[in-house]
Structure 1
Amino acid sequence: MTTVLLVSGSTRAGSTNTALLRTAAAMDPARTRLYDGLAALPAFNPDDDVEPLPPAVADLRGALAAADALLICTPEYAGALPGAFKNLLDWTVGGAEMPGLPVGWINAAGVAAPTGGRGAHTELATVLGYVQARVVDAACRRVPLTRAQVGDDGLIADPAVRAEIAAALDAVCGCAAGEQKVGL
């Protein structure tokens, strides 16, 4: 069975991005694993990208190595990727886990967001191309969310949003299984 690593680009406790991925994990626990080590990663330093790796970096690379695909949901800050998430991506450059890994992303920026997260996703596409990940176009979606759509349980009940999440998971899993055409 295909395993999809779910990575939120937000460290915020009430993040709609993380809520979307928690919902994905709850909807399909057999195929998903939610990565929760973003805040624990040290600031990237190429001098530290040697064995033995810092424990949080080793955990990240181990999670990526165990995954058949990756699904990202990240906010945009100041027109680009959040610093903590860019740091996570920087730690992937020196590893061997990303080349060829099928990746999709869901843009959860609210409808009132000035650019709809375009800057973050442009930067994300650049980095994913650099690390030679396989972007699965059908798994890249815009699913605008508001905090009001997140229940007290931290999950999203809206059937339309859940359908978009399921479609993204199916697309990235299909690519991992060799069934989908990819970009980049």
Structure 2
Amino acid sequence: MNDVSPIRIIGISGSLRSRSSNTHILRAAASLAPGDMIITMYEGLGDLPLFNPDTDGDKPTAQVADLRTRLNAADGVLICTPEYAGGMPGALKNALDWIVSSGELMNKPAAAISASPSLTGGEKALESLRLTLRMLSADVADDGTVAIPLVSAKLSAEGELTDAATVLQLQLVLGALARQVRELQTREPGSL
């Protein structure tokens, strides 16, 4: 029984910019993923309506339903966020707000990355993201997070990751995420 199903990860960039360094880092992570991991990028962040509990019910908008469906289908989630005004961007927080009541991240393995041109690497945004993920009952391992400082110097003009230390950091985060997923898959049903 060597047949192991692939680990399906949804990758979410917290930036809406077309040439976002966070999106580049997330794509680099996807290319560095272990052979049994498939990272699919979620591209609908900017299409989500503003969160309003009055409109969240049995029939959410198509955009919200799509996000929830993709999260449900994934074995885990990998989020890379920039830091805006000392926290994660509103578009990313909005997406996470849409899944508070529906629970798609409950007990789901998650990894979090922040990338910033600052010396701190967006640590405040990373902490904000970790706090929100914990509130959503996502399973975030301590070794499943990393802040990447001075990110602009670590990417080529084409957006390719050129820094060997960052490559290693991303591989460690992906390894932690893979272990979380495999551990969850080996637990007995109903043991959560």
Q: Same fold (TM over 0.5)?
A: yes
Which residue in the other structure is 1:92 paired with?
99
**Greater gyration radius:** 2
**Per the alignment, do residues 2 and 97 of structure 1 end up closer, same or farther by CA in structure 2, a change over 3 Å counting?**
same
Normalised by the length of structure 1, the TM-score is 0.87
Q: CA RMSD in A?
A: 1.9
CA–CA separation in structure 2 for the residues paired with 1:48 and 1:155: 40
Q: Does 1:2 align with 2:7?
A: yes
Q: Which runs of 5+ in 1 are unaligned?
A: 180-184
Match of 1:112 among 83, 106, 119: 119
Whole-Å separation in 2 of the counterparts to 1:31 and 1:56:
23
1:42 aligns with one of 49, 64, 82: 49
Q: Which residue of 2 aligns with 1:173?
A: 178
CA drift of 1:126 comes to 2.2
Q: Structure 2: give runs of 5+ residues left out of the alignment.
A: 1-5, 185-192
Higher-strand-fraction structure: 2
In the alignment of these two chains, the number of paired residues is 177
Deviations along 1:21-52, one digit per CA (max 9) or x if unpaired, are: 01122333852111111111110011121122
Q: CA deviation at 1:155?
A: 2.6
What is the TM-score normalised by the length of structure 2?
Answer: 0.84
DSSP-derived class of the 1:100 partner? coil
Q: Please tell me the residue identity of whatever aligns with 1:139.
A: G
Classify 1:95/1:155 alpha carbon distance in 2 versus 1 (closer, same or farther; 3 Å).
farther
Q: Deviations over 1:149-173 (max 9, x none)?
A: 3234433133322222121111111
Letter in 2 for 1:136: A
Higher relative contact order (CA 8 A, sep 6+): 1
Aligned pair 1:60/2:67, yes or no?
yes
Contact 1:16 1:145 in 2 (8 A): no
Matched-pair identity in %: 38
